[in-house]
Structure 1
Amino acid sequence: MAKNTILVVEDSPTNMILMTTPLTEAGYEVITAVDGEEALEKATGEHPDLIVLDVILPKKNGFQVCRQLKTAPDTQDIKIIMLTSKTQDSDRFWGTKQGADGYMTKPFDTDEYLSAVKALL
């Protein structure tokens, strides 16, 4: 059985480690991107099963990336969890409006994070 591939998009090296380590330890194939444009390139080129997407990113923010992926026929079926420090109800609403399948805030609980990932795969 093939491993599920997850694209983690995060510009902070520390947060990248916190977000990718539990996924690799759980047996997922993890690819990474550090800005919105790289996220779009990898999502289109590698078509991961799931994207864990920060909102505050260089070049294109996570809301823009999510909207672009969810409106493109080739990538609209990829599940997206926004994982961000933006904790306002309006941020959560906006993320859902852009097409996010899940929305979590930092700091996050690893077990909840893995459960959210598993639920979408």
Structure 2
Amino acid sequence: MPRASILVVEDSPTNMQLITDALKHEGYRISRATDGEEALEKAISEQPDLIVLDVILPKKNGFQVCRQLRSSPDTRNIKIIMLTSKSQESDRYWGLKQGADEYMIKPYKIEELLSNVAKLV
């Protein structure tokens, strides 16, 4: 049985590569987006099981993307892990308030990301 599909939304090519390599190694099917608008389009068209979502993105930030995903019946059940450098407690609170299932701060341990992914899919 194929593993879950994951949409990785990250504007840093280095971070994108690290995250996608780790997830592919675990057998997950990966698609990518590099800005908030592309993330919304792919979430609607591909219906991934989970989205790993950066907050600081071009066009729409991760908070806006998360809020829009949660407000639509077509995407409200997709699991979301916010993975961001925004490390204030107020950022974490706001991310979870927007509907994120998990809020992780960069730098992070890849094992922690994989554990959170496995927990949600």
TM-score (norm 2): 0.99
Residue identity opposite 1:110 in structure 2 = I
Q: For residue 18 of structure 1, report the CA deviation from its aligned partner.
A: 1.3
Q: Name the CA distance, whole Å, in 1 between partners of 2:120 and 2:64.
A: 21
Q: Name the CA distance, whole Å, in 2 between partners of 1:13 and 1:2.
A: 26
Partner of 2:82: 82
Partner of 1:43: 43
Partner of 1:52: 52
Q: Name the CA distance, whole Å, in 2 between partners of 1:25 and 1:61.
A: 28
TM-score (norm 1): 0.99
Partner of 2:106: 106
Partner of 1:23: 23
1:69-96 CA-partner distances (Å, limit 9, x unpaired): 0110000000000000000000000000
Unaligned runs of 5+ in 1: none
- Paired residues for 1:7-18 under 5 Å: 7-18=7-18
Q: Name the CA distance, whole Å, in 2 between partners of 1:100 and 1:112.
A: 16
Q: For residue 2 of structure 1, report the CA deviation from its aligned partner.
A: 2.9
Whether the aligned pair in 1 keeps the contact of 2:2 and 2:28 (CA below 8 Å) is: no
Q: How many correspondences in the alignment?
A: 121
1:51-109 CA-partner distances (Å, limit 9, x unpaired): 00000000000000000001100000000000000000000000000000000011110
Percent sequence identity is 68
Aligned structure 1 segments of 4 or more residues deviating by more than 2 angstroms: none
Unaligned runs of 5+ in 2: none
